[in-house]
A and B are shown apart, each in its own frame.
Chain A
């Protein structure tokens, strides 16, 4: 008797096959395949759909209490070393499988509408299927190394998709930035994985945790080294899940098509970091200090994202910073030793944030009819307003998303966010305060987005604002085609249907995680769920929950007063009085500027200097060096006593000295 979990390997393989067929077709018969839009869409939809069906079968099996399933084979071996690969299906994985396939399926449908006028429709679908495949592979990976493999592959898909419109300079820049910032995180992840393998001889999650505690107890691995390794591994999730200070790539990644922002940069890929931390829970649970670092990073990110989102005028960027902030909440939960709460927020956030992004896509798509395809215009809220009458479905679903993310019961965001805040309150009260404050800011900026976009007067035809925006962005106004419509209209059904579908879980899914009877915790960690239900008391729950709701309502009220009723003018009240604060937020805490100065220019300068050394010194002196090494080769006879490493150090030091010298001179 085979269970569905035995066929779980098909889940990533099916989209991969679809992507391969269309991808190879694109390379070999570019023109023909590009014309076959419908067949390609149907093929890839059925691949992802089939994967979704298997995922749900797996999920229900796990809900029914089936044991975890693991299948492995030897992938590489050398000497005594052998490396198994394979797949594992457990409750955590099955939840992610269902989540990823659902959202991927809906986003594919949505893309059929959103990308309808794009020349590269087929290429877009191929990339989407490729991404789904890599992401699903990541979810069912049984060990760290396989995670790393898929980790890089989702990063690659993100690179390809952010740079999808490669004729735009912004997209080219953002794609490169996304990949390289993620590589910085992967640098730590790789070193961490290697170090853990050295310390424990294992890549397996449980094996690493057990091996490390054993190695520490018998003294082969010092405590500081173990903590350092854990932190190195954490660098990977920091980059992937956009945690401070490696979050800088995510807002820029909004240059990609909006369905991508929804799928990759809000719901699934960016959650991979949180997922990995949850996977490594047996490891991190041993080190409270590592937990504290994670929690602090999460809290900083959470606050940073929300604070920058307050002043964003670009609809998608606003949502992007909101994502950064929400990922911070998840990381905060992980650091507080509450992975179930973090995962729960991951799931609820995936639904409502995907919906919000798809909603923003619907708005942008509509705006493009009026202001053209220039993203500086189409995404700016100063040109929107009053869209509710024209686009009712988009507006209603967007409003549901805003309420959900603001944490108003009984919508999804309330339950998950409140659980995190409750855990933080019990573990690190100071960090709770940060999260609490952020909750108010979240409610404010989300409703600000809503009011600016959907209420008031439509400002899209205001040529002076358009000209101003273009001037600020440093672009010329002549986009040539002036056949724009005068007003917007609701998007077609492929775009509104996913919005409506996503609204359902955004409202209801939180009820699966009520603290007194958490089905979600019951699946991931039955003991914890039982404990939660047992210790639950209304007198503890109500004050905290009440406080959260109260601060959210405060945020909403300010937004209503400022942007719906225009009773208070925040520009005059705050921005004019504290211009430094406003500038600080508008410039995104100056982090991009620091990066640009320190790392981008610094590395370019260093590279130029090294090249200079290479061209002038090494090439010039190399003949002399040849003679010298000849001499030292003669002298090496006397080096038997083993001062070779001294020689090596001289070579290394010499190169560095030359670089420094030329840096100082040049």
Chain B
């Protein structure tokens, strides 16, 4: 076993580690990564009669303890007021390669770590009816849990690449073995897309790590301090944008998603929508915006435009979809558009909104996909044409669907509203872009406000409203929601409504990190001002205003 000695920071340039983390001495993050993986390794040896009735309790226990570990990490070792890295752990792994087991969490990663362990625990609960090869299933789910926490917690780009790749394998298997009819096709498409695009991560990581000569070093804090030239930054940025754009996804790199989501089973679905998409957004913030600020200043308008395309394009395709799962899948793409606009907004309010949108969609998307699965278990069809009037028999299910759809269409009082509002307000009021550009983008993005209820409410109408579809009723048993299902949705709704009523519950936990990040980007934009045409960027007179909050360069 590795020894998790928490060594003091040897690099004077890295951000100082709070004394509490060292004093506590508990390697919380390593624990939260390795615990589910060790748990997964025990699964094959766990006594089970074959139907998965015992092993699922074991998996649930492991997932819950992992969640508790991450919560404990948040409560004991994490101070939301600090913008830098916390809970740091460093173990030199392969010094020749410059590979270090470096973990840490700041405002960008901590909320997503919590989200991951939370959604995974609920996904295990959602996987209760799985009877086909249950051991392998729960093994993969738990392995994925650890892998995804690692993606958010590692502080070394090479390690990040490894975690990113390792997490693909469980998803591939989960898709290919338990998926729907076209699962092979979907799984292959998924793996080609993601693995192919992640090549760019490796290339960019190597390029950035070896930049400047000397011993290669891939740690984020070191990379951020290297003075990359603008051309180099643009090159790395565009590569990374493709890699993360596939994951987020950004139109037109999204076509794997409807297939993958359309074929996955409900628990996998929850993980795909709840966490995997957030890896793209997180990585965009972490690498593109934080480590390559000059390139980000150049690319940000593109991100904003792509965000708007995402919102409108995916909303329209979702409206036309007749397959329930694919409909919700497209709605995920549409919601991710707000993340893109927020990241490109150069305002701490907008970027904060992007972060909140990721968390919020993680919860809402997971709840909708869970409901899709639960509905499919009863109707045995996903075609909207074959449903109708289901609300007569499934009243509680109808209520849950209504609440989650309303959350998804950004009803005030729920988290989606706050995050979208923050993105809107941040983008519209920040002076980084010219007025015309802001008006056009805000206007187009607001079209999404009209389109989202159109496709969600018409979906509800086709499933639940109206007379019962006699053909459907004749060969299916439409039992209402069972307590387990109500409980899963309830668990997701508590944070959705909690954040909606008082968003500072969540935003306070990361706002200082986001502010530091945005300041960095704004300073970088100042350094390269003037190159962009007045069509998009505002005049220099206004941009001097935002120079005020620049951070002192240590």
Q: Are A166's CB and B464's CB within 8 A?
A: yes
Whether a CB of chain B sits under 8 angstroms from the CB of A217 is: no
The reply to whether the CB of A622 lies closer than 8 angstroms to some CB of chain B is yes
For B300, give the chain A residue with the smallest CB separation.
A644
B504 x A191 contact (CB < 8 A): no
A176: chain B residues at CB < 8 Å are 457-458, 461
Tell me the chain B residues, 500-537 only, with Cβ under 8 Å from chain A.
502-504, 507, 511, 514-515, 518, 531-533, 535-536
B319 x A604 contact (CB < 8 A) = yes
A218–B535 Cα distance when bound, in Å, is 24
Nearest CB of B to A406, in Å = 38
Using CB atoms, name the residue of chain A closest to B535: A645
By a CB distance below 8 angstroms, the chain A residues around B196 are 626
Q: Is B242 a contact partner of A626 (Cβ separation < 8 A)?
A: yes
Does any Cβ of B come within 8 Å of A7's Cβ? no
Q: Is A310 an interface residue (CB 8 A)?
A: no
Q: Min CB distance, A644 to chain B, in Å?
A: 5
Are B457 and A179 in contact (CB-based, < 8 A)?
yes
Q: What is the CA–CA distance of A633 and B207 in the complex, to the nearest angstrom?
A: 15
- Whether B349 contacts A78 by the Cβ 8 Å rule is yes
Chain A residues within an 8 Å CB radius of B396: 27, 30
Segment from A52-60, A378-386, A544-552, A605-613 that makes contact with B: A605-613
Complex CA–CA separation, A589 to B320 (angstroms): 30
Tell which of A110-118, A462-470, A648-656 binds the partner: A648-656
A150 at interface, CB cutoff 8 A: yes
Contact in complex: A76, B503 (CB < 8 Å): yes
Taking a contact as CB atoms under 8 Å apart, the answer to whether A644 and B317 are in contact is no
Q: Does B402 contact A (CB under 8 A)?
A: yes
Question: Chain A contacts of B255 at CB under 8 A?
Answer: 614, 618-619, 622
Q: In whole angstroms, what is the CA distance A109 to B406 when docked?
A: 29
Interface assignment of B239: CB less than 8 Å from any CB of chain A: yes
* Known interface pairs A622-B255, A644-B302; A611-B453 also in contact (CB < 8 Å): no
How many Å lie between the Cα of A198 and that of B430 in the bound state?
8
A660 at the interface (CB under 8 A from B): no
Chain B residues numbered 381-414 whose CB sits less than 8 Å from any CB in chain A: 389, 391-392, 395-396, 398-400, 402, 406, 411-413
- Selected from B301, B402, B461, the residue in CB contact (under 8 A) with A644 is B301
Looking across the interface, which residue of chain A has its beta carbon closest to that of B230?
A640
Interface residues of A in 99-158 (CB under 8 A from B): 145, 148-150, 152-153, 156
Closest Cβ–Cβ distance, residue B543 to chain A (whole Å): 14
Q: For chain B, residues 207 to 251, give those with C-beta under 8 angstroms from any C-beta of chain A.
A: 230-231, 234-235, 238-239, 242, 251
Which A187-245 residues have a C-beta within 8 angstroms of B? 187, 190-191, 194-195, 197-198, 201
Does A267 make an interface contact (CB < 8 A)?
Answer: no
Residue B306 is within 8 A (CB to CB) of chain A in the complex: yes
- Chain A 598-636: CB-based contact to B (< 8 A → 1; otherwise 0): 000001101110110010001100100110011011101
Is A256's beta carbon under 8 Å from chain B? no
Q: Which residues of B contact A30 (CB under 8 A)?
A: 395-396, 480
With a cutoff of 8 Å between Cβ atoms, the chain A residues found around residue B402 in the complex are: 160
Contacts of A603 in B (CB 8 A): 319, 454
Residues of chain B lying within 8 A (CB to CB) of residue A79: 347-349, 352, 511, 515, 518, 549
Which residues in chain B, 435-475, are within 8 Å of chain A measured between CB atoms? 442-443, 446-447, 449-450, 453-454, 457-458, 461, 464-468
A561 CB to nearest B CB, Å: 44
Q: Do A194 and B532 contact each other (CB < 8 Å), given the known contacts A153-B411, A652-B305?
A: no
B15 interface residue per 8 A CB criterion: no
Q: Given A153-B412, A655-B309, do A633 and B242 touch, yes or no (CB 8 Å)? A: yes
CB pair A647–B302 under 8 Å, yes or no, is: yes
Contacts of B368 in A (CB 8 A): none
Please determine whether B507 and A76 come into contact, CB atoms closer than 8 angstroms.
yes
The verdict on B418 contacting chain A, using a C-beta distance below 8 Å, is yes
Answer yes or no: B357 CB below 8 A from chain A CBs. Answer: no
Which residues of A in the span 47-102 have a Cβ within 8 Å of any Cβ on B? 74-79, 81
Q: Does B252 contact A (CB under 8 A)?
A: yes
Q: What residue in chain A is nearest B255 (Cβ atoms)?
A: A619
Alpha-carbon distance A97/B411, docked complex (angstroms)? 24
**Which residues of chain A in 288-312 are interfacial with respect to chain B, using CB atoms and an 8 Å cutoff?**
none
Contact indicator per residue, chain B 233-276, by CB within 8 Å of chain A (1) or not (0):
01100110010000000011111000000000000000000000
| Cβ A649 vs Cβ B305 within 8 A | yes
- Whether the pair B515, A190 counts as a contact (CB closer than 8 A) is no
Write out the residue numbers on chain B whose beta carbons fall within 8 Å of the beta carbon of A160.
402
Across the interface, name the chain A residue whose C-beta is closest to B242.
A629
Contact of B313 among A81, A187, A190, A610 (CB under 8 A): A610
Could you tell me the distance in whole angstroms from the C-beta of A485 to the nearest C-beta in chain B?
27
From residue B412, how far is it (CB to closest CB) to chain A in Å?
4
Q: How far is the CA of A28 from the CA of B320 in the complex (A)?
A: 35
Partner of B316, one of A76, A610, A622, A652: A610
Is there an interface contact between A655 and B251, defined as CB atoms closer than 8 Å?
yes
Chain A min CB distance to B129 (Å): 21
Bound complex: CA of A381 vs CA of B231, how far in Å? 77
Per-position contact with B for A158-192: 1 when CB-CB < 8 Å, else 0? Answer: 01100100111101110110011001101100110
- Whole-angstrom CA separation of A179 from B253 in the bound complex: 33
Give Cα A205–Cα B59 distance, bound, in whole angstroms: 54
- B331 beta carbon closer than 8 Å to chain A: no
Known: A160-B402, A180-B457. A78 touches B412 (CB 8 A): no
B306:A648 contact, CB within 8 angstroms: yes
Provide the A555-595 mask, 1 if CB < 8 A to any CB of B, else 0: 00000000000000000000000000000000000000000
Report the minimum CB–CB distance from B47 to chain A (whole Å).
35
CA distance A603 to B424 in the complex (A): 24
Q: Is A543 an interface residue (CB 8 A)?
A: no
**Contact of A639 with B by CB under 8 A:** yes
Give residues of chain A (427-459) contacting chain B, Cβ–Cβ below 8 Å: none
B428: min CB distance to chain A, Å: 5
* Also in contact, A27 and B399, with CB within 8 A (given A187-B447, A636-B234, A642-B298): yes
In the complex where A78-B352, A603-B454, A618-B252 touch, is A611 in contact with B316 (Cβ < 8 A)? yes
Asked if A641 is an interface residue, CB under 8 A from chain B, the answer is: yes
Instruction: Tell me the bound Cα distance from A201 to B514 in angstroms.
Output: 22
Out of B320, B399, B411, B422, name the residue touching A607 (CB < 8 Å): B320
A637 within 8 A of B: yes
Chain B contacts of A645 at CB under 8 A? 301-302, 305, 532-533, 535-536
Which residues of B have CB within 8 Å of A159?
A: 457
Q: How far is the CA of A644 from the CA of B302 in the complex (A)?
A: 7
Is the CB–CB distance between B429 and A198 below 8 Å? yes
Closest Cβ neighbor of B235 among chain A residues: A637
CA distance A647 to B301 in the complex (A): 10
| B443 x A191 contact (CB < 8 A) | yes
Give B255 Cβ to nearest chain A Cβ, in Å: 4
What residues of chain A lie closer than 8 Å to B550, measured between beta carbons? none
Docked CA distance A619–B254 (Å): 8
Nearest B residue to A652 by beta-carbon distance?
B305
9 intermolecular pairs with C-beta atoms under 8 Å apart: A75-B502, A78-B515, A152-B417, A176-B457, A179-B453, A610-B313, A619-B255, A641-B531, A648-B301
* Further contacts, 11 of them, CB under 8 A, given A74-B504, A149-B412: A76-B422, A76-B504, A79-B352, A149-B413, A176-B461, A183-B449, A607-B319, A608-B320, A611-B320, A633-B238, A644-B302
The 4 A-B pairs at the shortest CB distance, nearest first, are namely A642-B531, A172-B465, A149-B412, A633-B238
B: which residues have CB within 8 A of A? 196, 230-231, 234-235, 238-239, 242, 251-255, 298-299, 301-302, 304-306, 308-309, 313, 316-317, 319-321, 347-349, 352-353, 389, 391-392, 395-396, 398-400, 402, 406, 411-413, 417-418, 421-422, 424-426, 428-429, 442-443, 446-447, 449-450, 453-454, 457-458, 461, 464-468, 480, 486, 502-504, 507, 511, 514-515, 518, 531-533, 535-536, 549
Chain A residues within 8 Å of B, Cβ to Cβ: 26-28, 30, 74-79, 81, 145, 148-150, 152-153, 156, 159-160, 163, 166-169, 171-173, 175-176, 179-180, 183-184, 186-187, 190-191, 194-195, 197-198, 201, 603-604, 606-608, 610-611, 614, 618-619, 622, 625-626, 629-630, 632-634, 636-637, 639-642, 644-645, 647-649, 651-652, 655
